[in-house]
Structure 1
Amino acid sequence: MLRGILPVLCLVPLAGHGDEVGRADVDWIGNDIVIEAVRDSEVGGVTCHLAYFERSVLDRLSQGNWFEDPSNSAIECVRTGPVDLGGIRRGPEGEDVFSEGRSLIFKSLRIKRIYDEESQVLIYLAHASEVTEGSAKMAISTVSVADARMPGD
Structure 2
Amino acid sequence: MATIPAVYGLSTDDARALLAQAGFTVESVSYEYSSEVAAGVAIGTDPAEGWSFPGDASVALIASKGPNPVNGYVPEVPTDSYDQAAAVLAAAGYLPGYVEQESATVAAGLVIAIRPAAGTPLNPGGTVDVFVSVGVPYIPPEPTGPATPRFE
Q: Which structure has greater strand proportion?
A: 1
Higher Cα radius of gyration: 2
Band of TM-score, shorter chain: under 0.3
Normalising by structure 1, report the TM-score: 0.20
TM-score, scaled to structure 2: 0.20
